[in-house]
Amino acid sequence: MDKKKQIESGYPRKTNERWKNMPILFDTIFTLNILLVNDKDESPTYVISGDKTYYLDPISDTLKNEKSFNERFKGLQITN
């Protein structure tokens, strides 16, 4: 939104136009400020769609490395 609290022209954008393999429905997109095990990205961004998670590669700007929620985020639980 701009200062007039109006949505800027061209928004909302269709996520599947930017990320070709983006799930049609997803629960959240977020960036962590910590490293997960064996990750090289210091601020990894993830997409969660149901029980599936995807890593958003900042170099290629593509979704990669599909894993289940429990596999990627060991010890965390999804709550409603």
Per-residue pLDDT reduced to its tens digit, 2-55 = 567 777 777 666 777 778 788 888 888 888 887 766 667 778 889 999 999 999
- Three-class SS state of 52: strand
φ and ψ at residue 29, rounded to 5 degrees: -130, 130
Count of positions (residues) in the chain: 80
pTM for the model: 0.69
